[in-house]
Amino acid sequence: MSRRATSAGVAAPAGTRRGDRPLQVLVVDDSAVVRQTVTTLLGLEGMEASAAADPYIAMEKMTRQRPDVIVLDLELPRMHGLEFLARIMEEDPIPVVVCSALTGEGTDLAMRALEQGALAVVTKPRLAIREFLHESAVVLVDAVRGAAEARVSRRAAHPAISPRLTADAVLPPRPGPPVAATTDRIVAVGASTGGTEALTLLLQAMPPDAPGIVAVLHMPEGFTAAFAARLRGLCRVEVKEAAAGDRVRPGLALIAPGNRHALVRRRADGYEIELSDGPLVSRHRPSVDVLFRSVAQAAGAGAIGVLMTGMGDDGARGLLEMREAGAATLAQDEASCVVFGMPREAIARGAAEEVVALDRIPAAILRRTARPAASSGGRA
């Protein structure tokens, strides 16, 4: 077990303790290099990390010490990571962060892991594992801290999501009329831990003519395209991973690609997506703050900002900028959040015009879509 040596009187970093003890993290990976690298990283952050080479060894260790968080690879010997995850969620739910190589089939496996209850996915490179202790280390540590704060519940075995199919699955529709020259409303959404489920529920409730939506989730590169593709079969609005030059229009939800900042720019005939490879902002790329600031500048009172479940404070400053620019602003309430960190920070800053339960957010958005644009800056 790896333990961080601390000097007397020096506090461990925030989010690394459970009561009067360090967070207990179990790393399950068949690579000795990965196990050593990740346990060392977490130990340096004040956590106590142990490791297991496969799920059977992990289960034996869990009988002696129940971890606060599990960092789980998916490609494991003797038992597949998805099967192990299902057992955890059925028998004794523990927060799980998937750390896996997300290429090819692995991306779909990660999507299935989130559906089965994993809270976050972090990309593990197939090569240069030790170099993982740079920007990706920040993402992994934040994911573990967020998972430790999350509320997880027991799940039925192998849950299935039934797609809402239409005739489009058999015969594609004919192209419609040209998109209107301007978009009356634009909705900017940000989320982190628990955000895949929250955004899924939000988009499933939106009608086909919903205002244009741009969303930032803290997801790894290569994962957002698979997530958007899965949502296309579940939602009445069109969903796609955002690309540079995409127009924001009614009936379309754009998800910022992993590892790229997404910005909204005003053009003569509407709004357009711009992507940036800039540095981490609020410890993330993409950053909700970057999206929200760009929307505040591009749309002002024509926008609606929504900040949902997640750890940390990414999006809180940007949501305040949106409100000060005249946008309507919503924050998810504590009871319906997996982790209340990001909405809590926004509420504390006075950035949220209204605090709303997750299942009421779609109606709150549509209610504001129906009213004329008007400045909300300075409202109590």
Same domain as 187, residue 108? no
Number of domains the chain is built from: 2
Catalytic residues: 192, 218, 314
Specify the CATH number for the domain of residue 66. Answer: 3.40.50.2300
Domain that holds residue 60: 17-149
Residues 352 and 224 in one domain: yes
In a domain, 3, yes or no: no
Token output for 14: 């925030």
132 with 236, same domain: the answer is no
Q: Give the sheet arrangement for strand 303-307, strand by strand.
A: 238-241, 252-255, 212-217, 186-191, 303-307, 328-332, 354-356
* Domain identity same for 327 and 206: yes
Q: What's the CA dihedral at 204, 205, 211, 216 to 10 degrees?
A: -50
In this structure, is residue 43 part of a structural domain?
Answer: yes
Residue 290 lies in a domain: yes
CA 49/CA 350 separation, integer angstroms? 38
**Residue 284 sits in the same domain as residue 338:** yes
Residue 364 domain-assigned (yes or no): yes
Helix (H, G, I), strand (E, B) or coil at 203: helix
Inside any domain, residue 90: yes
Instruction: Please tell me whether residues 231 and 100 are part of one structural domain.
Output: no
The reply to whether 173 falls in a domain is: no
* pLDDT value of residue 279: 84
Asked if residue 104 belongs to a domain, the reply is yes
- Ordered per-residue pLDDT tens for the chain, 380 residues: 333 333 333 344 555 666 678 999 999 999 998 899 899 999 999 999 999 999 999 999 999 999 999 999 988 998 999 999 999 998 899 999 998 876 455 577 888 888 889 998 887 766 666 666 555 788 889 999 999 999 887 765 444 444 443 323 322 444 444 334 344 689 999 999 999 999 999 999 999 999 999 999 998 888 899 899 999 989 999 999 999 999 999 999 999 999 899 999 998 889 999 999 888 888 889 999 999 999 999 999 999 999 999 988 999 999 999 999 999 999 999 999 999 999 999 999 999 999 999 999 999 999 998 755 444 444 43
| CB neighbours of residue 87 within 10 Å | 14
Nearest CA to 310 out of 291, 332, 292, 330 is that of: 332
CATH number at residue 332: 3.40.50.180
**What pLDDT is stored for residue 33 in this prediction?**
87
Same domain as 210, residue 355: yes
Which pTM value belongs to this model? 0.72
pLDDT digits (tens, 9 = 90+) for 199-241: 999 999 999 999 999 999 998 888 899 899 999 989 999 999 9
Same-domain check for residues 351 and 215: yes
Residue 176 lies in a domain: no
3-state helix, strand, coil in the chain (%, to 5): 35, 20, 45
Residues 29 and 78 in one domain: yes
Tokens representing residue 57 in the block: 């060894």
Which amino acid does the sequence have at 142?
A: D
Separation of alpha carbons 51 and 38, rounded Å: 9
Closest CA to 41 of 146, 108, 110, 134: 134
